[in-house]
Every structure is written in C-alpha cells, then in structure tokens.
Amino acid sequence: MNLLTVNQIDKSYEEYRVLDGMSLSIQEGEIYGLLGPNGAGKSTLLKIISGLLSFDRGDIKIGAFSLLDQPLEYKKLIGYVPDHPFLYNYLTAREYLDFISGLWGINEKGLIEGVLSTVRLAERGDTLITTYSHGMKQKLSLAAALLTKPRILILDEPLTGFDPPSAKFMKDFLREYVKARNSVLVTTHILEVAQHFCDRVGIIGEGKLVQELDQLGAFDSFEDLVISVMEESA
C-alpha cells in the first residue's frame, strides 16, 4: 500500500526548471533511496515533500491527506531531517525540543524524554547545543522530527559526517522505524549505503524520475549501473 504519493510536481526558479513532472510513490514499511547527480533536484524535492517549499503544479499525499488541501494534517505526518539542521545553539536540547513542541501545540508528558532517549541524547539533554558534534546535532534534529509521531521520515544525506557507531545507530533505528508500517525517504551519495540499506531506489536527472530499482542486493555491479543511468540522463 502506498503511503506517500508524489504526483506530477513542477518547480521552477524564474526560467530554470528544477523539477519537471516529478512523480514517485513510497510504500508502507519501505526505505526508499533517492539518487542523482548534484543539481538534479533531490534536496528541492525533499523540501517540497516536507512542506517547506512551494511548488508550481501537482500534488502530494500521505495516505488520504493532501499537502494542498489538508496541509496541517499532512505536515504532522512528516518528519524532516536536513543535512545541515538549523538549531538554536544556545539552548539545551531539552529547551529546544520544548520550543518545537510548543510550535506544534504538543503537551504530552514524557514525550521529550522519550525522544531524547530514543536518539541516545538523554544524558546530554541539559547541555548547550553549541557543544554538540555534527552527529549529535543530527540526532537532535531527528528527535525534533519524531515529536509529531510522523508516518514518514525524510532525511537528506543522513549518514554524512557520522562516525561508525552513530551511522550504525541511525541505520538500526530507521530499520526498526519502518517495521511499524512507517516509511523512510533518504538521499545519499554513498552508493554502497543505497544498495545495502534501501529497499528501492529512484534515480533522478534533470528534474525527473528516470529509473527505479529494487531487489538491490541482486546487482553485482550496482555502482556501474547507477552511474550509467545518471550519465545517460545528464
């Protein structure tokens, strides 16, 4: 069953078209990887799906909720973790999560402690964010994304700059997350991660989805195939 449906999305900046009839769907319980060269429109697409960037044509749905027609209900079902999260560095993690909860109108006892524990930051919850490493900031951004109990997590280059233990934590967490019929959409430049972590990948070029691949473990030359598709679509 499809959880996320992206239907014929166009996005232009003045006369430069970034996305041109972009369509894709992601199933419940699936980790979907988005691949493509720099400038292909990956980050733009993630921001549009997350409701952070407007678009010119098309629609996006999570289940029955349309981003155009039911934006508040839709956005509560999305958790977005950017590659460079914007955080208030002179707040503590608990203060930051309390602030984000307030923006959503969330007042659930124990929720902040729960998400801090989930991302393994409970012991550093009263430390200023400015002292955090890149990996810790990514974990805090993930904790903030989890506050609304989203059905879909969207992560832009989630493993970039992670040390091996943090990368393993992130992959293990996301695999558990989709077991509850949730879904994950990630971008990555690391093709080994795409092949061995994702259930399916979509390759985009010039603002369009040019090919999807599944059964990724069966490919002997996955890297060569992906690069070939990218070069053909350039």
Q: Would you say 16 and 164 are in contact if contact means Cβ atoms under 8 Å apart?
A: no
The two tokens of residue 227 are: 């690069």
* Residue-wise pLDDT tens digits, 67-106: 999 999 999 999 999 988 889 999 999 999 999 999 999 9
Q: Are residues 13 and 66 in the same domain?
A: yes
Alpha helix (H) ranges present in the chain? 42-49, 71-76, 93-104, 111-118, 134-145, 164-178, 191-197, 222-233
Q: Are residues 140 and 195 in the same domain?
A: no
Tell me the HSE value of 6 on the side-chain side, using a 13 A CA sphere. Answer: 23
Q: Are residues 40 and 63 in the same domain?
A: yes
> For position 191, what pLDDT does the model report?
84
Predicted TM-score (pTM) of the model is: 0.92
> Could you tell me if residue 82 is inside a domain?
no
Q: Would you say 154 and 79 are in contact if contact means Cβ atoms under 8 Å apart?
A: yes
pLDDT band, residue 231 (cuts 50/70/90): confident
How far, in Å, CA of 88 to CA of 96, rounded?
7
> For position 45, what pLDDT does the model report?
95
Least reliable range by pLDDT among 13-17, 66-70, 159-163: 159-163
Q: What are phi and psi of 6, to 5 degrees?
A: -105, 120
Q: Are residues 134 and 34 in the same domain?
A: no
Domain of residue 95 covers: 88-149
CATH number where 172 lies = 3.40.50.300
Q: Are residues 208 and 124 in the same domain?
A: no
pLDDT band, residue 58 (cuts 50/70/90): very high
Does position 234 have pLDDT exceeding 70, yes or no? no
> For position 183, what pLDDT does the model report?
97
Does position 173 have pLDDT exceeding 90, yes or no? yes
How far, in Å, CA of 34 to CA of 194, rounded?
8
Q: Are residues 141 and 33 in the same domain?
A: no
Average pLDDT, stretch 104-112? 92
> Could you tell me if residue 83 is inside a domain?
no
Domain boundary among 127, 149, 171: 149
Domain boundary among 98, 127, 149: 149
Q: Are residues 197 and 215 in the same domain?
A: yes
pLDDT band, residue 218 (cuts 50/70/90): low
Q: Are residues 62 and 93 in the same domain?
A: no
> For position 217, what pLDDT does the model report?
66
Average pLDDT, stretch 128-139? 93
- Total count of domains within the chain: 2
48: closest CA among 29, 70, 27, 75?
Answer: 75
How far, in Å, CA of 45 to CA of 154, rounded?
11
